[in-house]
């Protein structure tokens, strides 16, 4: 039996057009005072790249991610954002999949009639996005839970 598409849930991810403002808002309004900020480039499988500034924090076992698109093929993250004023929008749920499940992810997505809209890697970590906006209101991001991911998770501050 295949696992569900909610296996490995760990992350609520938001997009913003101003990460510094989002960080201030999260601290003032939600008590999330510790946030790691890093710049990253996603390598999309179509040969393009997307540049992001990323904020990461844990609150208990939940990881919060804040993505500020900064150029390249970033339309999937940039599209929901206002062009004229501050925006902070829920974007996707993130799922980290252990190797046995990751090996079946394409079969799982197909079995549940989902549509892959983006495949990429970030620091050699493979990522898959499905578009679930019509039914759930957001994307779903699946990442292979490798030793690289585990190392990154250890460096993320806990609130």
What tens-digit pLDDT sequence spans the chain (159 residues)? 568 999 999 999 999 999 999 999 999 999 999 999 999 999 999 999 999 999 999 999 999 999 999 999 999 999 999 999 999 999 999 999 999 999 999 999 999 999 999 999 998 899 999 999 999 999 999 999 998 889 889 999 999
* Predicted TM-score of the model (pTM): 0.95
The residue extents of the domains of the chain are 9-154
Q: Give percent helix, percent strand, percent coil of the chain, each to the nearest 5.
A: 25, 45, 30
Q: Which of 26, 111, 24, 101 is nearest to 62 (CA)?
A: 26
Residue 118 CA, chain-centre distance (Å), reads 12
Measured CA angle at 119 (ends 105, 115), to 5 deg: 60
Any residues with CB less than 8 A from the CB of 3 and at least 6 apart, and which?
A: 101, 104, 108
Structure tokens, 32? 């999330």
Instruction: State how far the Cα of 5 lies from the Cα of 24, in Å rounded to an integer.
Output: 33
CATH of segment(s) 9-154: 3.10.180.10
Q: Which two tokens stand for residue 50?
A: 């997307």
């Amino acid at each position: 039996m295949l696992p569900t598409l909610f296996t490995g849930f760990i992350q609520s991810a938001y997009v913003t057009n101003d990460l510094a403002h989002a960080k201030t808002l999260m601290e003032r309004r939600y008590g999330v005072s510790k946030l790691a900020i890093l710049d990253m480039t996603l390598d999309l499988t179509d040969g393009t790249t997307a540049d992001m500034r990323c904020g990461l924090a844990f609150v208990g076992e939940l990881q919060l991610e804040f993505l500020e698109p900064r150029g390249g093929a970033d339309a999937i993250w940039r599209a929901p954002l206002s062009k004229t004023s501050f925006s902070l929008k829920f974007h996707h749920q993130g799922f980290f999949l252990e190797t046995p499940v990751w090996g079946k992810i394409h079969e799982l997505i197909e079995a549940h009639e989902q549509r892959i809209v983006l495949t990429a890697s970030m620091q050699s970590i493979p990522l898959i996005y499905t578009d679930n906006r019509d039914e759930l209101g957001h994307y779903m991001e699946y990442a292979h839970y490798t030793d690289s991911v585990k190392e990154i998770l250890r460096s993320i501050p806990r609130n």
